[in-house]
Every structure is written in C-alpha cells, then in structure tokens.
Structure 1
Amino acid sequence: MRDLTPLALVGASGWLGRFMGPALLRAGVVEPGDFIGLNRSGASEAYAAWPGLRWSTDPEAGLAGAGMVILSLRPDEFRAARLRCPGALVLSVMAGVSMAEIRERTGARAVVRSMPNAAMEIGQSFSPWVAEAEADDADRAMVRAVLGASGREEAFAREADIDVYAAICGAGPAWAALLLEALAAAGRAEGLSPEQALAAAEGAVVGAGAMLAGQGAQAGAMVDEFIAYAGTTAAGLEAARAAGFAEAVAAGIAAGTQKARALG
C-alpha cells in the first residue's frame, strides 16, 4: 500500500482546519510525528494536546515530501500561494475550486474535492467527496478515514454536485439560524418579549433538529400529517407555503450554487 505520510494540513488553524486536524489526531488517522500544520502564524492552541507537532509558515518547506496534502483555505488564498506538492494526494475542502485547477496549480498525483460543514466542530459533519480517476483504492480509503474522523462521509459521482451541497449545508447552521431568526422576529411581532421569542424559536429549531436526525426521508410526510390535523400548526404551514416559503429557499440554494461555481 502506498505511504500517504506525512500528512500536511494547509490552513491548520483556520475555520475548518482547527477542527479537522485535531479530529485526525484523536482518531489516530495520522500519528503526531506524521502531521505537519501549515499556516501563517505557527503553532495553534487548537493542538495543545499534541505538543511537538511540526509547524511551518513556509509552504515550500512544509509540503516537501508530503504524501497527502489537505487544502483548507479560501480560494483567493490558494490562488495567491505557491502550493506545489508533486506526487501527493491532495484533498481540497475549498468551495468553487475545481479538481482540474487544483491539479494544475499543485502538480498533485491525484485530487479529491470535499465539502465538510461547520458541524465538524462537534464531530457531526456530513462530508460528500468526489475523486479523480487517478485516485486509487488506498487514496480513497484514506479520504474516507480523514473525513470520517469528523462525522459522516459519502462519495459523490459528479464534481458539480459538490457546489450544490455547499449551498445547502456547507456552512452548517446557517439555514437553521436564518429560520430561527425569522421565528423569533415573528414571535416578537405577535407580542412576545425578545427573550420569550428567542427561547421559543431556539426550542423549535434545536429540538426539531434532534428529532429529525435520520428521518429526513420522512420530512414531507411529517408536514402532511401536521396539515391534516388542521390545527394551529397547519394554519401556519399553509400560510408559509402560500407566501412562497419553498420558492424562497430554492432561490437561496440557486444563488449559493451559482456563487460556488463563479469562484472557479
């Protein structure tokens, strides 16, 4: 089996990197001696449990000899940097940067794109990924281990689907936060105090998330059951539908998908 160490994480203390790196180390996917953290500021407190890790602020030195490189940085930062890693397996968690561009800029042996989300912070990310044909079984097994250390992973067949996923849940709680904000505002408009409205909205969104875990396929049936009951919730759901709730969400996802593709 090909040796994919050392593993270099570019952006190791960034938005996702500060959760992804420690998850890999805790799960034993990579040993501390085979981990290299790259960023602009050096050692990060997020890795305090693993003193003595290798850190580098010099991409050329940090990537030299790496068997696997994870790119966890913004597209503009990636394009401004010189991140050459010929012979390495490259796993990108960047939005909007194609596998073809990553290969061209890095000289990678094989490229994989994924889009984890902010739930990586609590070990519950859903991380879809797509691999180039050049990625062999050992590469794919390593990708599954890396992404699986922070939640659930799933292989996708088409690269374009990653951009749609990024729009739906790439930012983790963003859509749920928008709903919570709207529910709280509606509660205030109906006479609740700000504290009461916020508590009610948070209880609805957070509690519902737990109840829906693993039940996504039944969501439509759940809505239909509430409407069939013809109570207060049914009145609210029907009014939201009539006001264009589904259309507003669809417009948001379309805009997010277009933005992700425009980054390329």
Structure 2
Amino acid sequence: MRDRIGFIGSGMLGSAILRAWIDSGTVAPEALIVANRSGALPDLPQARAITVTTDPASLAARCDTIVLCVPPAAAPALGLRAPDALILSVMAAATLDDLTRLTGAARVIRAMSSPAAAHGMAYSPFVAAPAATRSDLARAQRLLGACGQSDQLADEALLDHFTAMTGPVPGFVAAFAEAMVAHAVRVGTPPEIADRAIRQLFLSAGHMLAGDAPTAAEHVQGMIDYAGTTAAGLESLRRSTLHQDVSEALTAAAEQARRMRPA
C-alpha cells in the first residue's frame, strides 16, 4: 500500500492493530501517520519511521484512508472533516450514519476488532456503506485480515453483538475459565496449579477449535457420543440454563454497546 494511511488513536487496540500491520508487512511504517493526544510514537518496532501528529485535521489532509480507533465519546471532539477519504472505523457503537456525520465521508466502513490483533488472532467483521467501492472493500479486508480473520456482514446490527462476543478478549472466555479454576480450587487443587492447568486447557482447546473441521457443536456432540467421563458433565451442562445465561449476558453487552453511540 503506497499511499498514506492515517490512524487516529493509539491505545491498546490501536497499538495491536498497528503492530499487526507492521509485523505482517501489510503497511510499511513510513506509510503511516498516527494522530494521538500526546504526540508520542507508538511502542512498536520501526516506530521511528511513523509520522506522528496531535492534529487530526493535518492527518486528514495527507491521507486517503483514515482509521478511527478512539472511544466513541471522544469522536465528536476530533473535528474531523474528510469527505473524500475512505473511513475505516473500529470504534464500538458508532454506526455508518454516525461515521458519515462525524467525518463528512460517504465511503465509510464500520468494523470491530480486538487486542488479539497484536498476535494476528483477532476476528474483525465489518459492514460497508453503499458508497464504498470494490477497492475500498478490498482494502478493508486486507487491513483487517492482517489482524487475524475477517468477514463482511450484510446486517450492521450484528456488529453490536460481535462487540460483545469477539471484541472483549479474553472476556467471556476468561469468565468460563474463572469458573473452572474456582471449581478446581474448591475440590482441593492448589490455586497456582489450578490456574496453570486451566490456562493450558484453554490454549489447547483454542488451537483445536481453530484448526479442526468440526464445529463447536460437533465437538460437544462427539464427546457425548463417546460416552466417556466428559459426556456426563456435558449432558449436565445441556440440562442447565448455561445457553440462556450466556445469551442474556451477551445481549446485555450488545445493548450497552448501542448506548455508547457518539453524540
């Protein structure tokens, strides 16, 4: 990508995305202009080749593609006008209409990612406004794909649910791990061993789920069909309110995302 890419924001998520781009060779550091409040260079490899500014307007004047990675409440204060740019937002809650209102741009793409991007392991779905071109969509897919996996969605409302499901790494997965650690401690396992064992369990499970052909549901059914010790526990979970409880928790998080829309 030879033209300049502007990146506004440099918190945990912003740093993770920038690292993914640079580590993968998707974007050269010298092609980046980063705007943040401090004017400090990101803590990244080859950071000295990145241009940094505290003025979003200056960035907008020099970039054909602008990535917004700030808290939704901070977006209006940017005073960003970039009607001719491609706007790619990874802000929670800000809709396509919000992005056009905030920037004056018609070619806007709304995405969701996570700090797992630093390891190339994020899931980054996106939706695009009608004015976005094929070239814009390809660029978004390339930039988000450098962070892990990405899909284009047809329904913008789904992004609030992905904000809840895949944005908070490790989030809900950590909550389930916490419950398993608590059980292990309750039955007498030393806390440090319980923590180490469950961390390793989730690491291995993640690799298996990511690489194996069966879906999560097929993995569960396969263990039940095997009729071993795990089957008894999984059948107990199926009789419980687990699915309903998880759905209610994710719905609550998605509703909170909708309430965070920029003014």
TM-score of the superposed pair, with normalisation by structure 2: 0.91
Give aligned-pair identity as a percent.
35
- Cα drift, residue 65 of structure 1: 3.2
2:29 and 2:46 in contact (8 A); partners too: no
Which whole-Å deviations, capped at 9, do the CAs of 1:166-189 have from their partners, x for residues lacking one?
Answer: 111111221221111110001111
Equivalent residue, structure 1, for 2:26? 29
**Structure 1 counterpart SS, 2:66:** strand
Distance of aligned partners of 1:26 and 1:227 in 2 relative to their CA distance in 1, 3 Å threshold: closer
> In the alignment, is residue 232 of structure 1 matched against residue 249 of structure 2?
no
Superposition pairs of residues 1-264 of structure 1, within 5 angstroms: 5-11=3-9, 13-215=10-212, 217-264=214-261
Take 1:67 and 1:58, find their aligned partners in 2: how far apart are those partners? Answer: 16
Distance 1:35 1:196 in 2: 44
User: Number of residues paired by the alignment?
Assistant: 261
Matches of 2:74 and 2:254, distance apart in 1 = 21
- Asked if 1 retains the 8 angstrom alpha-carbon contact of 2:19 and 2:118, the reply is no
Q: Distance in 1 between matches of 2:206 and 2:166?
A: 13
Q: Equivalents in 2 of 1:255, 1:206: separation in Å?
A: 27
**Contiguous gaps of at least 5 residues in structure 2:** none
User: What SS does structure 1 have at the residue aligned with 2:67?
Assistant: strand
Q: Which runs of 5+ in 1 are unaligned?
A: none
Question: CA, structure 1 residues 49+218, in 2 after alignment: closer, same or farther (shift >3 Å)?
Answer: same
- 1:217/1:167 CA distance change after superposition, 3 Å: farther
RMSD after superposition: 2.0
Call closer, same or farther: CA 1:25–1:227 in 2, change over 3 Å. closer
User: Partner amino acid for 2:26?
Assistant: V
Question: What's the TM-score once normalised by structure 1's chain length?
Answer: 0.91
Deviation at 1:199, TM superposition (A): 2.3
Task: Quote the Cα distance in structure 2 between the aligned partners of 1:29 and 1:109.
Answer: 25
1:121-149 residue CA offsets vs partner (Å, 9 max, x unmatched): 20111111111110111111111111112
**Structure 1 stretches of at least 4 aligned residues deviating more than 6 Å after TM superposition:** none
State the shift of 1:195 in Å: 1.8
